[in-house]
Amino acid sequence: MSALFSPGRIGSLELENRIVVSPMCQYSAVDGVAQPWHLIHVGGLMMSGAGLVIVEATAVEDIGRGTHGCLGLYRDDQETALAKLLDEARKLSGARIGIQLTHCGRKASTRTIPERWKGEPLPVEEGAWTPVAPSPLAFDGHWPVPEELDETGIERIIGAFAASARRAAQAGFDLVEIHGAHGYLIHNFLSPLSNRRSDRWGGTRENRMRFAIGIARAVRSVLPPAIALGFRINSTDWHPDGSSLEDAVALAQALEDVGVDYAVMSAGNIAPGISIPPAAPGHQVSFATEIKKRTGLSAMAVGMIAQPRQAEAIVANGEADFVALARPMLDNPRWGLHAAAALGADIRYPPQYIRARPNNWLGFGFVHPEARPPETSLQLDRPRSVSWDRPAGRT
């Protein structure tokens, strides 16, 4: 039996398998409101064969958006649009749907150039706003200096995360993930490279973690027990003066104490110019393994996980409980279906696509030789499709 396609559990949330679609920014919202593109994008991923699809990083307040095209969840119209998206997306498969909540901190107010996929500071004439951060330190030399948050601002943002989480529950999401990595606001507080405060929000590791823990506690307090809560953690800044894996483990242990169910382990992006090891397949899996060993959290691995048997080995060997894929899913939105064929797993297909199932299409092995089932795999001798029902508890 495939480990990758065995049922999984995050908190009280049950998943059909261990494949997760990572949040992927689309820069296609209008004033924070989801558009038809988001339904097409999320809907396609719902039919990928993954057990969980997480909607892109979504800002908890307007100045927390990375760009003018980022999703938001701080107004009624934004919540209504996402609720409608969920209502349609759930008709496509039995995959669960989560959302990632974020505040971009000093990396907010940027312009994304599609041709380069690289963020740049937003010019004033294009509607730039002043970003906020724990300390008035710019992300880079040509970036704006952020406004230093005072106690009132910090408490406002903690409350904003809770308010957005409440909206996420009302919209019908199964899971909420808090973004605490990639150089965004929570990561800004966690890292000594971006947090130079001397008050209770900076200095010692305990103080630098206070903001992240406060947000997690506030979010958990407004979510029903059935909704899982996760946290994307920065595993290392790759800098001797920055956050380390030991810091990440300490944070994960503290987050577990306030009700977080899983951690997804990322790394880097706190500042430009830091030398990092070359990326290689599975290069961040060891961070998830450390969390799995040293906490009771479900561990989610990321980092150039692209091949079915690679993902299978990660789960089968106990290196992580789940694998999360991003760009491989953009490249191949049916990644999970093809992985099932490669691993001999019998999974459900959308009824409309049943003719493309390996046992129903003689050409499958020619088009996807890498996904051809091994000789000893389960013989898929009959179509298996379903009429998807709305999960219990969702109306």
Question: Which residues belong to the active site?
Answer: 184
Rounded Cα–Cα distance for residues 340 and 61 (Å): 40
Nearest to 193 by CA among 210, 180, 208, 215: 208
Q: Which residues contact 152 (CB under 8 A, 6 or more apart)?
A: none
Helix (H) or strand (E) holding 325: strand 322-325
Q: Which residue do the tokens 């996420």 mark?
A: 168
The residues that bridge with 266 in the sheet, in sequence order, are: 234
Rounded Cα–Cα distance for residues 195 and 210 (Å): 12
Rounded Cα–Cα distance for residues 19 and 324 (Å): 6
| 73 phi/psi in degrees, rounded to 5 | -145, 60
Q: What is the DSSP letter of 214?
A: H
Q: How far is CA 364 from the centre of its chain?
A: 31
| 285 phi/psi in degrees, rounded to 5 | -65, -35
Query: What is the SS3 assignment for 83?
Result: helix
Q: What is the CA radius of gyration of the chain?
A: 21
| 17 phi/psi in degrees, rounded to 5 | -155, -175
**Segments in 317-377 forming alpha helices (H):** 327-331, 335-343, 364-367
For residue 385 the two structure tokens come to 């499709």
Give first-to-last CA distance, the chain, whole Å: 34
Contact between 67 and 110 under an 8 Å Cβ cutoff? The reply is: yes
Following DSSP, what letter does each residue of 88-126 receive, concatenated? HHTTT-S-EEEEEEE--GGG-SEEEETTTTEEEEPPGGG
The residues that bridge with 228 in the sheet, in sequence order, are: 175
| 72 phi/psi in degrees, rounded to 5 | -135, 160
